[in-house]
Structure 1
Amino acid sequence: MPLLTVSQAWAVLAVAILMEVGGTTSMRLAEGFTRLTPSLMMVLFYAVSFTLNTMVIRVLGLSVTYGVWSGVGTVLTAMIGIYYFKEPATAVKMVSIGLIVIGVMGLHSATRVGT
């Protein structure tokens, strides 16, 4: 019997995604492990994210969990790069982000069809 319902799994996955984004952002702020606090935060955020993912995989399955986690995490991280770190928002980058969003929506809908 799963420890989480499907609705709970999606909520936990959302937190896991935010933790992963926090870890990736902290990686950028750590400047190659030369700054202690962001380096420690990176490890903490990733540890929490992976722990939550292991809970969610039991309910949503590997393909959906990892696909949504990595896809949404990639989009959010790209947006942080563009808005916070002032990276260029090229047309290719924006179209690619849109394609990731479409893929994540497809994976999400696959869980609704299968239940």
Structure 2
Amino acid sequence: MTPAVRAARPAPLAEPAREDLRLEVVLGALSDPLRLSIVRKLLLESPETDRSCGWFGIDRPKSTLTHHFRLLREAGVTRQRQYGLERRSEVRTEDLDARFPGLLDLVRAWTPGSLLG
């Protein structure tokens, strides 16, 4: 993403500051398989771009998706921006890497059953 495009983006919605990120809150947000898969998809397929809920192709009610995306944002895992009626999300990679080095590497490497199997 070019600097001009980045500068033209709307301000992010309310989120915790980097220094206020807490490991137990971040891990709690990532403990749900759907939220973990959302974050993995962003990290692996769209690390430089924010994405709308529809991009994920998740077959769940809109209210359910709104709940999951809000929890990720409030935990400090993702950043959301409002574009008209659409909210787009991206992982707060720099903030999470600074506070919890290696955490996102584990998320990227995770596959269902890999930690238990």
Q: Which has the higher helix share?
A: 1
Asked if these proteins are the same fold (TM beyond 0.5), I'd say: no
Larger CA Rg, structure 1 vs 2 = 1
Q: Which has the higher strand share?
A: 2
TM-score by length of structure 2 reads 0.30
Q: Higher relative CO (CA 8 A, sep ≥ 6), structure 1 or 2? A: 2
